[in-house]
Amino acid sequence: MGKVRSLPPELVSKIAAGEVIERPASVVKELVENSLDAGAGRVRVELIAGGKRSVRVIDDGEGMAPEDAELAIQRHATSKISSEEDLQRIVTLGFRGEALAAMASVSRLSLVSRAEGCPAVRLYVEGGELKERAEVGAPRGTQVEVKDLFFNLPARRKFLKGTGTELGHCLEAVVRMALAYPQVAFSALHEGRRLMELPPVKEERDRVAAVLGRELHPHLTEVEGSEGAYSIRGWVTLPPYARGNTRGIYLYVNGRYVRDRLLQRVLGEVYGGLLPRGTYPVAVLKLQLPPEEVDVNIHPTKMEVKFRDPQRVYELLRGALERALAPTTWSPKATAPPPPPPELREAPTPYAPTLPMAPPEERPRLRPLGQIGGTYILVEGEEGLLIVDQHAAHERVLYERLRGEEVPCQRLLLPQVVELSEGEVEALLGQREVLGRCGFELEAFGPRTLAVKAIPTLIRAHEVKQVLQALAGELEEASKDGLERARKLLACRGAIKANTPLGEEDMRRLLEELEATPHPRTCPHGRPTAIEITLEELARRFKRE
Ligand code: ADP
Ligand code: MG
């Protein structure tokens, strides 16, 4: 007899179940998705022992007629698609018709459902076998309970973690859905204790704050953009607000939570120069695109998707995020300066300089008052007192200059010959293009020497060697973000150090330049450039009110 044989159907469905259902949180996800697909306005999730003993989801959606309910618990039974064509344009969260069957085959599942104009039905399935079918009384909607997950797959059950861990995953599944559906009410209970109560909201921002933390509210800024049939909407936090992990990042494609590298990369790029390394914003971003432009059927739990035109997605998101982050001015309340009066907006005549548009008599928004410790500048701002870190502020100014089209550079009368190690020479010549964009002109001179013909003006001639050595170290490790790293390093090297006395004119100029940068509130490494003490806060601390 041959070795190859067909597996019995019960085993096939258990194996299939393992792909979709990994742990109680997968049950929560599948059941809540079904509730949302059924148009529920309220969804209630009840858990016992982190969902290991029981996950129950109750909704007020459209419900199922008795014969539909019986079909629904069988494999590949769905009301959501009927042809291959439908598979190209999926608009519901579910579509494979396997979740209920999968859960039923590895648990004790009971389902009570009633659709408008139909009697209510109750089904009880144990390990995939329908044990009970009864007519009952029930309100419109559906209630599914999945008890003793993996009771018949002991190997699998052993891999479940402690109650706390599983509960955490279950709640996270609810959070993902609650962020996507702010107009739906969600509640979550663990062993009778209420852990989450989210009333429906009109303003999506209120749901973001309710779920991810009330303290976020003032830091959130809206992201919006569209390009043809593609659109992006959502909320992100403004720097310097940051978290030490990526857990505040939620990305959705057509209402479906996804983990997508492309989307994550864009966030990294846009926030890269604004937040310290290893810290992340909070972001809830929702991408909408025609269903045929994205394939959601490439992953068992549909967590990954494939875009037909990734470049278009990238550009849309990048543009929208950059616009959202652009006005990171001193105070979250401060708005951009008003547009110039129309007569100044006319096309400039060949003789009229275009730059000085602001009325010359206006008082500067930031007025230096003095310096303390040779390191911090005290400034009167529009809302109160600012304490500016001169090094961080200057770093931001220089960094933006290095990002300009033409970096100011200084051609040396005689090339400066610099001796370095072979490794350093190699690293620098290998990144000659990057260094060229930062204002360096380098030529090979020998295995351990370089001829330096031009340097960025922010570097002094006597520090060239030191700076090149530092750059070599930085670029050796760099794979593709070499240019960014070089810019940050040069900005840091060129910036005024702490313990440097500054005259009033120096301070005024620095503040002016800082304010003209797109992100004056943080240095390129993400440290704050200033601390603000508002007049309100002063009044409060002096007990004036
Ligand atoms: P899918 O969601 O991929 O269609 P499921 O196995 O999750 O597959 O569900 C099968 C079918 O059962 C659905 O297509 C839907 O018609 C019905 N169904 C499941 N849950 C609900 C619910 N909460 N309310 C109404 N109908 C439901
Ligand atoms: Mg489903």
User: What CA–CA distance (Å, rounded) separates 122 from 36?
Assistant: 21
Q: Which of 150, 181, 166 lies closest to 59 in space, CA to CA?
A: 181
Percent of the chain topping pLDDT 70: 92
Q: Average of pLDDT values for 211-221?
A: 87
pLDDT digits (tens, 9 = 90+) for 244-271: 888 899 999 999 999 888 888 899 889 9
> Looking at ligand 1, which atom is closest to the CA of residue 30?
7
Using the 8-state DSSP alphabet, how is residue 461 labeled? G
Q: Is the pLDDT of residue 243 over 70?
A: yes
**Which atom of ligand 1 lies nearest, measured to the CA of 141?**
24
Distance between CA atoms of 384 and 366, rounded to whole angstroms? 10
Structure tokens given for 508: 């005024």
Nearest CA to ligand 1 atom 1: 97
Tell me, using a 6 A CB cutoff, whether residue 111 lines ligand 1: no
The closest alpha carbon to 26, from 106, 81, 112, 130, belongs to: 106
At 1, the pLDDT band (50, 70, 90 cuts) reads low
Token pair, residue 182, equals 């702010």
pLDDT at residue 488 in the model: 93
Closest ligand to residue 73's CA: 1
Q: What would you report as the CA-atom Rg of the chain, rounded to the nearest whole angstrom?
A: 30
Structural domains of the chain, with CATH: 9-198 (3.30.565.10), 204-325 (3.30.230.10), 329-545 (3.30.1540.20)
The ligand 1 atom at the shortest distance from the C-alpha of residue 61 is 24
| Residue 72 φ then ψ, to 5° | -60, -30
Among 25-34, 313-322, 352-361, 504-513, the minimum mean pLDDT is found in 352-361
Choice from 35, 37, 44 to test ligand 1 binding pocket (greatest atom count within 8 A of CB):
37
Which pair of structure tokens corresponds to residue 293?
Answer: 């432009």
Instruction: Tell which wins on pLDDT, 502 or 54.
Output: 54
**What is the per-residue pLDDT for 180?**
95
| Percent share of the chain, pLDDT over 90 | 60
- Ligand 1: does its nearest atom lie under 6 Å from the Cβ of 297? no
Q: Tokens representing 294?
A: 């994205």
Query: Does 142 sit in the ligand 1 pocket, CB within 6 Å?
Result: yes
- Give the pLDDT mean for 337-348: 37
Q: How far apart are the first and last CA of the chain?
A: 92
> ω into residue 240 within 30 of 0, thus cis?
yes
At 337, is the pLDDT very low, low, confident or very high (cuts 50, 70, 90)? Answer: very low
The model's confidence at residue 339, banded by pLDDT at 50, 70 and 90, is very low
- pLDDT at position 6 is 80
User: Cα(101) to centroid of ligand 2, in Å?
Assistant: 10
**425 and 473 Cβ atoms separated by less than 8 Å:** no
- pTM for the complete prediction? 0.68
Q: 336: pLDDT confidence band, cut at 50, 70 and 90?
A: very low
pLDDT at 244: 83
Overall average pLDDT of the 37-59 stretch: 97
Give the containing element (helix H, strand E) for 27: helix 24-37
Measuring CA to CA, which residue among 316, 115, 343, 293 is closest to residue 225? 316
Would the pLDDT of 358 be above 70? no
The sign of the torsion formed by the CA atoms of 485, 488, 493, 499 equals: negative
Q: Where are the alpha helices (DSSP H) in 254-413?
A: 261-272, 310-325, 342-345, 390-402
| Dihedral class, residue 525 (left if φ above 0, else alpha if ψ from -120 to 50, else beta) | alpha
> Residue 76's pLDDT is what?
77
Q: What is the mean pLDDT of residues 520-539?
A: 90
Supply the mean pLDDT for the chain: 87
The three-state secondary structure class of 278 is coil
Kindly list the protein residues that place their beta carbon closer than 5 angstroms to ligand 2, a single-atom ion. Answer: 34, 94, 99
Confidence of residue 389 (pLDDT cuts 50, 70, 90): very high
Q: What is the pLDDT of residue 479?
A: 66
Average pLDDT (341-368) is 46
Say yes or no to pLDDT of 21 above 60: yes
The closest residue, in CA terms, to atom 12 on ligand 1 is 72
CA–CA separation, 490 and 471 (whole Å): 8
Q: How confident is the model at residue 236 (pLDDT cuts 50, 70, 90)?
A: very high
Residue 328: what pLDDT?
Answer: 54
Amino acid code (one letter) for 466:
Q
pLDDT above 90 for 202: yes
Q: For residue range 276-319, what is the model confidence (pLDDT) as tens digits? A: 878 889 999 999 999 899 988 777 767 888 999 999 999 999 99
| Arithmetic mean of pLDDT, 500-512 | 90
325-353 mean pLDDT:
42
Tell me the pLDDT band of 80, cut-offs 50, 70 and 90: confident
What is the per-residue pLDDT for 311?
92
Is omega for the bond preceding 8 within 30 degrees of 0, making it cis? no
**pLDDT at 353 (0 to 100):** 31
Per-residue pLDDT at 350 exceeds 50: no
Take atom 13 of ligand 1 and give the residue whose Cα is closest.
78
Q: Return d(Cα 210, Cα 384) in angstroms, integer.
A: 30
Decide: residue 435, CB within 10 A, 0-12 exposed, 13-18 middle, 19+ buried.
buried
**Mean pLDDT in residue range 221-250:** 91
- Mean pLDDT within 322-330: 72
Q: Does residue 187 surpass a pLDDT of 80?
A: yes
Out of 82-86, 397-401, 528-532, pick the least confident.
82-86
Q: Report residue 370 as tokens.
A: 């003095």
Around 303, how many Cα atoms within 13 Å sit in the side-chain half-sphere?
A: 12
Q: For residue 208, report the distance from its CA to the centre of ligand 1, in Å.
A: 28
CA torsion angle 6 7 8 11 (round to 10): -160
Q: Is the pLDDT assigned to residue 378 strictly greater than 90?
A: yes
User: Does the beta carbon of 456 sit less than 6 angstroms from any atom of ligand 1?
Assistant: no
The verdict on the CB of residue 102 being under 6 Å from ligand 1 is no
